[in-house]
Amino acid sequence: MTGQVGVVGAGAWGTALAQALASDGSEVLLWAREPDLVREINTERRNRPYLPSATLAPTIHATQDLGELANLAVLLIVVPAQFLASVIAQLPAGTRDLVLCAKGIEAGSGRLMAEVAADADSKARLAVLSGPTFAHEVAAGLPTAVTLACSGGQAQWDRLAPLIARPALRPYYSDDVVGAEVGGAVKNVLAIACGVVEGMNLGQNARAAVIARGYAEMLRFGLARGARGETLAGLCGLGDLVLTCSSTSSRNFSLGLALGQGLTAVEALTGKSSVAEGAATAPVLAQLAAREGVAMPIVEGVCRLLSGESPASAVVADILSRPLKAELEADRKTSGPAA
């Protein structure tokens, strides 16, 4: 391999990123867990389980051996959030840039992905790539803009941006890693809520309200965790929220759609090859919000649905019956009538 960038994880998003990076003829090493998938990518140029619409570039080489990544300067980590720690711990030793592309919060620990990665590899230079990205559009070469949040500041950006940017894939600089991570994690849960609205046929007005009030929850939680408001108003926050709350191309929206149509979470998730990260994120996000004293009633409602505690109609009724209040509430604490 003569390329400098590898992609760890051959799901839909990882494969799409590999395709984008290979669009200028660059060689890209793509790690996949499944041997059959490695064989299919290398011999047929296809990834039928996760990205069936794409014919993959000839310069993408798939491998099941993490050791082959040892000499690469930059790795995009695109495994599901709940497996991030175990995969990073298996990477060959070395000092490199790890660009985290999973959106979620680790169940049990409540850690954001950068915290997980730092604990798993203390030598890694961490960045977060996040934004409004449907994998099939990125793989097709359609224009996409993302946030690239660099823990190493401008120097890391100067190193990474030329390796990641392509004519149809445009990164924007930030040094607000927390903001990029909070936006990506919270929007997954809010997308489930918007799917519920669609599944219950509550209309476009209701979905717009959930997006706006959900963004208020995202902003309150992000500020409490040290994120900057302007980050959450950008691509990795509001931009990603609008995209994933409006299309069945979003796995989280599709999960909410099924819940709104009366399926249980177990029924809606059974047999799915791809991961709806919001299902794992919602309970831990609600716990963290309670600990921070941040009101997140939409997130709490999603948790009730996922646990089977309440039907969708009861959750919606409870949210609509909350006390009337000013739209811009200065007090973010749960003791007040926030959200």
pTM for the full predicted model = 0.93
Task: Judge whether residue 1 has pLDDT over 70.
Answer: no
- Residue 105: φ, ψ to 5°: -130, 135
pLDDT at 336: 40
**Single-letter residue type at 215:** Y
Does the annotation count 187 as an active-site position? yes
Compute the distance between CA of residue 73 and CA of residue 276 in angstroms, rounded to an integer: 30
Percent of the chain having pLDDT more than 90?
88
- Dmax (CA) for the chain in angstroms is 61
Question: H/E element holding 80?
Answer: none
Over the range 262-300, which residues count as b (16 or more CB within 10 Å of their CB) and which as e? eeebeebbeeeeebbbbbbbbbbbbebbeebebbbbbbb
Which tokens go with 278?
A: 């919001």
Is residue 308 packed enough to be buried (19+ CB in 10 Å), middle (13-18) or exposed (0-12)?
exposed
Name the DSSP letter for residue 51: B
Which tokens go with 302?
A: 């999603």
The string of DSSP codes covering 101-133 is: ----B-TTT--BHHHHHHHH-TT-EEEEEESS-
45: CB partners within 8 A, 6+ apart: 55, 56, 57, 58, 60
pLDDT at 165: 98
- In degrees, to the nearest 5, what angle opens at C-alpha 75 toward C-alphas 28 and 185? 120
Per-residue pLDDT reduced to its tens digit, 49-76: 999 999 999 999 999 999 999 999 999 9
* Alpha helices, H only, the chain: 12-21, 35-44, 84-89, 113-120, 135-139, 153-164, 177-199, 204-224, 229-232, 240-244, 251-260, 265-269, 277-292, 297-307, 312-320
Which residue among the candidates 103, 123, 187, 272 is catalytic per the annotation?
187
Per-residue pLDDT reduced to its tens digit, 125-150: 999 999 999 999 999 999 999 999 99
Per-residue pLDDT reduced to its tens digit, 84-125: 999 999 999 989 999 999 999 999 899 999 999 999 999 999
Name the DSSP letter for residue 3: -
**Single-letter residue type at 165:** A
Contact 299, 278 (CB under 8 A): no
Distance of CA 231 to the CA centre of its chain: 15
